[in-house]
Homo-oligomer: A and B are copies of this chain.
Amino acid sequence: MLSSSTLQPSPYRLIVKDPTSCARAGILQTRRGLIETPIFMPVGTQATVKAVSPDELTELGASIILGNTYHLHVRPGEALIKDLGGLHHFMQWNRSILTDSGGFQVFSLARLRKITEEGVHFQNHLDGTPTFISPEVSMQIQHDLGSDIVMAFDECPPYPCSHEAMTTSLERTLRWAKRCQEWWSCQSELPQQEKLPLVFGIVQGGSHDDLRRYSAEALVKIGFDGYAVGGVSVGEPEPEMMQAIEASTPYLPEDKPRYAMGLGTPPQMVEMVARGIDMFDCVLPTRLARNGTAFTEQGTLNLKNAPFARDTSPIEEGCTCPACQKFSRAYLRHLVKAEEILGLRLISLHNLHFYLNLMRRTRQSIIEGTFSQFRHDFVSGYKSRDSI
């Protein structure tokens, strides 16, 4: 049986490699369009990026967003979404969608989990309905949603995790990865209405370098269209997070995209790019916006703070986002203090613009050969005033 990755050429084209690091600029092709990498993917957990409309996402220049398999399975269910024409049509987003596998949420949100070789039995977090997700079920859900980039179903052990426990978990995750790949291989033998999505494997192994390498090499042997580094940003210190990336990327093929799941702060993303990562998703831009926190070149601003009460400047001078084009910090502070939805809407737009634009600027610097300088300036400038 052929794996799907052997049925199609690599979806990733490397454009420029930075000579001073592992950073790279490339183009990823999904069945729905081209994505310039490095790229930030806004998180649309429940068929919407929180507080933001599809038109606004398009205006911000987002080329791909993330959907959550677990959440959409629980509500409204993939059957309903499929019957109504798929996730793109349901939410009126016509660019690419990547769906996670549900693994992370099953292991962080769901109750009364029981893991077997077959899959995971659990009660969902909303109403306790008994549910079962296996590698095959996860693939079917993501297929029904109409995802353009499907993630393999993996086990996400909590941090910290001993070498022994991580080895046991990892071996199962690799067997599950093989089953995910086989599920798509069977699909590729059926007459298809449309091109199949890309399928990504997920490197696990926690903070154990040997297991990260083992995981990466084993996944490459199975063969995927791209590779993610999972089990990061699960509570470990930042050096361990970087270490997990460094212990994984050297064993992933250059001609495939690499995705660091659920990361991170702006300087973390730039540092991850320097370590060879191409794709990011993170809830911080929208989650912190709901708390009145805005991202700037110099660090985060908590717009609730009193000094902003009469501050007529925008969140960030020179910023081209819809919030900074029209509204003052004073007005945004008032909206946040008064708990008005327009406040978190505008800050969400600013923060998403900041993240999307940071990756655009990062890419441009790689292409222009100035990434090293850009990386230094951005990371040091951001950190130096992080406490604003």
Contacts and interface: CB of A to CB of B under 8 A. Distances in A.
Given A309-B80, A334-B47, A342 B90 contact: no
Contact of A75 (B48, B327, B337): B337
Contacts of A15: none
A80 B330 contact: yes
A236 interface: no
Interface stretch (A19-27, A50-58, A222-230): A50-58
How many chain copies does the complex carry? Answer: 2
Interface in A41-82: 46-48, 50-54, 75-76, 80
Contacts of A76: 309, 330, 334, 337
Contacts of A46: 334-335, 338, 340
Interface in A98-124: none
A293 interface: no
A341 B334 contact: no
Nearest to A344: B341
Contacts of A331: 47, 84, 90-92
Nearest to A85: B312
B90 A50 contact: no
Interface string A169-182: 00000000000000
Interface string A306-342: 0001101000000000000011101100110110111
B48 A342 contact: yes
A159 to B, nearest CB: 29
A326 B94 CA distance: 12
A330 B87 CA distance: 12
A53 B338 contact: no
A83 interface: yes
16 contacts: A46-B335, A47-B334, A48-B342, A48-B343, A50-B341, A50-B342, A51-B341, A53-B345, A80-B309, A80-B330, A84-B330, A84-B331, A90-B328, A90-B334, A92-B326, A345-B345
